[in-house]
């Protein structure tokens, strides 16, 4: 084992048994992700490959990724460093691996941005319609249907804050627990309409 880079040395690729595909034997597997990886793993992968690629700009072949099919998760992306990569690239990889061993998030800002983007996609994709359809009276529901996306999103965020509710990371996206904020969301729409509910839904 290379005592100067023990973390990196432990990532050396060895040829899998009964495997006939591409096998970068002896090279270093720094990080990986698969089709169902969560946001933390995905943003880590993107951040690590970006920093290692930048460090190897004079020897771009030293850092690369490749994809293999997988029977359970569809595919896996592998981030590799060649054994003969420049010393400063290998040293950076060692630092990254040691850092991730101590704390699993590579970049808090990148993860936060990814979570916000995934939350907004969930909001526009299904949560907005679910919250509106669950409003308990017809007048308020009808008013919500006429509101702008920005106003509805502002009410949604206010409801999340007032109820102290947070999104839940699930796979490559997030889940919004709409049942926990439904009443607060409806109150926000009622306030926007300037009235209390009058026509209960049947």
Residue that finishes a domain, picked among 106, 126, 148: 106
* Shared domain check, 132 and 73: no
Instruction: Identify the domain containing residue 163 by its residue range.
Output: 109-193
**Can you give the pLDDT at residue 168?**
86
* Shared domain check, 19 and 97: yes
Whole-number Å distance between alpha carbons of 116 and 144: 23
* Shared domain check, 123 and 38: no
List, for residues 132-147, the tens digit of each pLDDT value. 999 998 999 999 999 9
* Shared domain check, 182 and 124: yes
* Shared domain check, 94 and 16: yes
* Shared domain check, 10 and 94: yes
pLDDT at 77 over 60: yes
Predicted confidence band of residue 198 (pLDDT cuts 50, 70, 90):
low
Whole-number Å distance between alpha carbons of 56 and 17: 31
List, for residues 91-119, the tens digit of each pLDDT value. 999 999 999 999 999 999 999 999 999 99
Give the DSSP letter of residue 195.
S
Contact 96, 104 (CB under 8 A): no
Decide if 19 is inside a domain.
Answer: yes
* Shared domain check, 144 and 101: no
pTM of the model: 0.80
Residue that finishes a domain, picked among 88, 106, 124: 106
Residue that finishes a domain, picked among 68, 88, 106: 106
Decide if 199 is inside a domain.
Answer: no
Decide if 155 is inside a domain.
Answer: yes
Decide if 201 is inside a domain.
Answer: no
**179: alpha, beta or left, given left = phi > 0 and alpha = psi -120 to 50?**
alpha
pLDDT at 196 over 80: no
Number of continuous H segments (helices) and E segments (strands) in the chain: 8, 5
List, for residues 34-58, the tens digit of each pLDDT value. 999 999 999 999 999 999 999 999 9
Predicted confidence band of residue 197 (pLDDT cuts 50, 70, 90):
low
């Amino acid at each position: 084992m290379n005592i100067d880079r023990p973390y990196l040395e432990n990532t050396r690729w060895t040829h899998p048994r009964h495997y006939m595909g591409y096998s970068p034997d002896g090279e270093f597997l720094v990080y990986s992700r698969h089709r169902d990886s969560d946001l933390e793993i995905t943003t880590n992968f993107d951040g690590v490959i970006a920093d290692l690629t930048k460090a190897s700009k004079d020897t771009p072949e030293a850092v690369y990724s490749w994809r293999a099919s997988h029977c359970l998760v569809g595919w896996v992306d592998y981030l590799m460093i060649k054994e003969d990569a420049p010393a400063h690239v290998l040293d950076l990889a060692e630092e990254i691996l040691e850092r991730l061993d101590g704390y699993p998030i590579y970049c808090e800002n990148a993860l936060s941005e990814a979570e916000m983007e995934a939350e907004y996609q969930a909001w526009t994709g299904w949560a907005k319609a679910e919250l509106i359809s669950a409003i308990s009276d017809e007048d308020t529901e009808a008013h919500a249907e006429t509101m702008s996306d920005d106003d509805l999103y502002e009410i949604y965020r206010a409801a999340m804050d007032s109820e102290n509710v947070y999104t839940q990371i699930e796979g490559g996206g997030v889940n919004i627990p709409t049942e926990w904020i439904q009443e607060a969301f409806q109150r926000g729409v009622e306030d926007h309409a300037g009235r209390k509910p009058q026509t209960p839904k049947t």
